[in-house]
Structure 1
Amino acid sequence: MTDLADLWENGPSGQLAATPDGVILVANATLASWLGSTPNTLRGKQIAEMFTIGGRIHFETHFAPLLMMTGHLDGISVELQSADGSRRPVFLSANVKADDDGRPAVLRVAIQDARERRAYERALLEQRQGAEDEQARVQSLADTLRRSLLPPSLAVPDGLAASAHYQPSIQDIGGDFYDLFPLSHNTSGFFLGDVCGKGPVAAAVTSLMRYTMRTAAVVDRDPITVLHRLNDVLAQEMGEEKPSFCTVVFGTLTPDEGGFTVQLASGGHPPPLLLERSGEASYLDITGGMAVGLTDRPTFVGASLRLTAGDTMLLYSDGLTEARIGDGIRRFDDDGALRRFATSLAPASAAVLVDEIRELLGGFGSGVEDDTAVLALGVPR
């Protein structure tokens, strides 16, 4: 047998030639062995008889008409059915040989074994499914951890209105946190902060921050003292091996005639915005405070104000101000956009203000790259 004849007869792929109406004229030994038959036995049978029932239907109703229309088929996936009932996935390619008048004369068909390809695809699919399941499990754990780091509800004192929103980062567990809680029968504490970094370490620091400030405020409500104690605890618990720091605003609310007296201190956090009943919006002057955890001798800046009927104070994290907009180079608050946004709403209740910010964040889409937390505290009119 010549090399060419041997290649036809015993090559790695099945080969056959058939009439335009699908009757097999000749088939090689490789194809016959896959079908548990012989080349002579296959001669005179229809091509479609080689396939499973589903394959026959597809070949006769779709593949064969397409072959006659276009003159070729490329890599069609079907299954051969052997004489013993076993199945073999294959890829079928074909083209048409025309006679001198341009009419179809012979169908040339090549059939490639696809078992290893199918096995590879199944393994790949299983690995992909496993990865998706693991990702879903990790996401579920992350969501549970995020929820555990935020208060289940705000303890809003009588005469005050409060609203909050937290939008997590899509990348990892972040470190934004906030709370509003009672300190005594007539005083409440509040805070909003942002831990540097992401992931489990940031989550651990976040949890430490929340409970430390709650505990420290019970002993001494002075906001600057609370931040100093927070700084000491962070240094003791995290140590030099895991340096971490956070920015935070901590304050207290005490009801007075017609509103609330607010005492607060900043540890390197963006200044709160005050939306006044008059329609003005301005930042509180608490610049100069250092982030908590940077040094063992930090400087924190305090301030006080009164919230009266119609006034609302907004605390926020830098996920809002640093959201990318437009071409992705500019940040939302590069040119004072947050103050203009607040001024356009003032006066606004806490609920309305947070709803508008939630809608604003939604408009940024993927431009919001970091966790974002907002907390609004106001006195209803």
Structure 2
Amino acid sequence: MCRTDQAPEPGEEQDVDVTDAVFTSLLEDSAEELYEQAPCGYLSTLMDGTIAKINATLLDWLGLDRSQVVGRMRFSDLLTVGGKLYHETHFAPLLQMQGQVSGIAMDIKASAGRRMPVLVTSKVKTSEDGEPLLVRTTVFDARDRRAYEAELLRGRRVAEEARRQAEADRERLQEALAVLQQSLLPAQLPTVPGLEAGSHYHTASPDLLGGDFYDLFPLDTGRWAFFLGDVCGKGPQAAAITSLTRYTLRAAALHDADPVTVLTTLNTVLHERYRSGDTRYCTAIFGVLEPRDGHADVHLASGGHPSALIQRADGSADYLPTPGGMLIGVLPQAQFAATRARLLPGDTLLLYTDGLTEARTGPERALYGEDALRAFTATQPPAGPQALITALTGLLAGFGEGLDDDTALLAVGVPAPLPTTASGNLT
């Protein structure tokens, strides 16, 4: 409530005096002075664009006197060449149709030959009967905005260049990783007399090195060694263990090819690293093939790896159990399970890593599993290792995003005899 019957408190009289002075100044600030000294440019033009009135702010930006502008220049004359063209082709027609145009970016010819970015808003004033009388235009200084937009554009260009550089770096990295990944696998499988072999490697992510591996190589006196396995983890560290594992298996096999002995040697080597802090281990199957007249004997051992699968010539498919084989590299003394089998003509031995059986399928993303793999193999015609590998490659591709781990496949088998005609000739 306003107090009129009490003396002002200490300091209050001075505040009242200051307020009165400000109020008096506001009353003396005429509408014309507000128009002239506004922080933005104002002008009024006739309908043909001739300038009839312009404020001091805009004249100061232009570096012109009022006498040079009023009645002598059109609004479009204040614009740069590009701005004038835009005004004639877009701004003026739009203003004529709509009666108002707001916030259009243009450039005016400022003092000293400079270009000054502005935002232009125009509105047509009409008479009571709707006839257009004049155009009132407001011109806002957009230099700070233009600087901001330029900085934003520069930042966008820098970000785009960084994105392109990152994409190029990623492509180079993927190429390098692909080369390194291939160096951990045989370039091609050797030709084994009396046998057929096939392999496939599926990379789940081109950005990460996988730890799956396989190989097939000759021993002495017509025997052949093979192995397939999976080092836990991904990346350079897993690749280092993969390389060490492949080298160790090959070297150990040349010294003593007994499968259990070979895996025991590998366990000793990996356990040394395990104790040193690199707690990576692997699973693996190592075996020896001995082709004979019309068949091949197989002696293999497993360390924690999924069982090998045999596709028989009669179309059946069964696992070759190796129960009790332990993970390789975790314990100083590990037990490994060994088994023997005979491959007859038309039989194929399949080794695989768990990326295949642990793929997610269906709406519920259930594990594909070993039973499904056996059933799938049994439905394939017994046409040899390469045919089975081709069928499994298609199966892997069908998993799509459900296949989120690398998968290695290795198949060896004894070719089926070629069918003969009734006359006894080979077909």
The answer to whether the superposition gives a TM-score over 0.5 is yes
CA distance 1:79–1:49, change in 2 (3 Å):
closer
Deviations 1:65-110 (A, max 9, x none): 889889999999999998999889x797878769686999778776
CA distance 1:348–1:121, change in 2 (3 Å):
same
CA distance 1:7–1:328, change in 2 (3 Å):
farther
CA displacement at 1:319 relative to structure 2: 1.0
Give the counterpart letter for 2:74 in structure 1.
G
Q: Is the 8 A contact 1:275 1:346 kept in 2?
A: no
CA distance 1:182–1:197, change in 2 (3 Å):
same
CA displacement at 1:46 relative to structure 2: 3.7
* Among 315, 323, 340, the residue aligned to 2:375: 340
Using the aligned pairs only, state the percent identity.
40
Deviations 1:27-50 (A, max 9, x none): 9968996xx876978962549963
2:413 match: 378
* Matches of 1:102 and 1:293, distance apart in 2: 94
* 1:7 and 2:62 matched: no
1:134 match: 169
Q: Is the 8 A contact 1:20 1:107 kept in 2?
A: no
* Matches of 1:353 and 1:364, distance apart in 2: 17
CA RMSD in angstroms, aligned pairs only:
4.1
CA distance 1:80–1:361, change in 2 (3 Å):
farther
CA displacement at 1:180 relative to structure 2: 0.8
* Among 332, 352, 370, the residue aligned to 1:316: 352
TM-score, L = length of structure 2: 0.72
Deviations 1:173-194 (A, max 9, x none): 1100011111124011111100
* 1:201 and 2:234 matched: no
* 1:44 and 2:74 matched: yes
CA displacement at 1:228 relative to structure 2: 0.2
* SS at structure 1 position matched to 2:299: strand
* Matches of 1:18 and 1:358, distance apart in 2: 77
CA distance 1:47–1:28, change in 2 (3 Å):
farther
CA displacement at 1:375 relative to structure 2: 0.9
> Superposed, which structure 2 residues align to 1:272-287 within 5 Å?
272-287=308-323
CA distance 1:320–1:118, change in 2 (3 Å):
same
Number of residues of Structure 1 aligned to a counterpart in Structure 2: 370
> Superposed, which structure 2 residues align to 1:288-367 within 5 Å?
288-327=324-363, 329-333=365-369, 336-367=371-402
Give the counterpart letter for 1:7 in structure 2.
P
Give the counterpart letter for 2:177 in structure 1.
A
1:12 match: none
CA distance 1:19–1:301, change in 2 (3 Å):
farther
* SS at structure 2 position matched to 1:260: strand
Q: Is the 8 A contact 2:120 2:137 kept in 1?
A: no
> Superposed, which structure 2 residues align to 1:159-170 within 5 Å?
159-170=194-205
Give the counterpart letter for 2:318 in structure 1.
S
* SS at structure 2 position matched to 1:297: coil
Where structure 2 has 5 or more consecutive residues not aligned to the other structure, the ranges are 1-32, 417-427
Who wins on radius of gyration, i.e. which is larger?
Answer: 2
TM-score, L = length of structure 1: 0.80
CA distance 1:39–1:256, change in 2 (3 Å):
farther
Give the counterpart letter for 2:180 in structure 1.
L
* SS at structure 1 position matched to 2:233: coil
* SS at structure 1 position matched to 2:39: helix
2:16 match: none
* Among 184, 188, 205, the residue aligned to 1:149: 184
* Matches of 1:317 and 1:177, distance apart in 2: 9
* Matches of 2:195 and 2:55, distance apart in 1: 87
Structure 1 outlier segments of 4+, above 3 Å: 1-7, 15-33, 36-43, 45-52, 55-88, 90-112
Deviations 1:245-287 (A, max 9, x none): 0011111111112021111111111111111001101111112
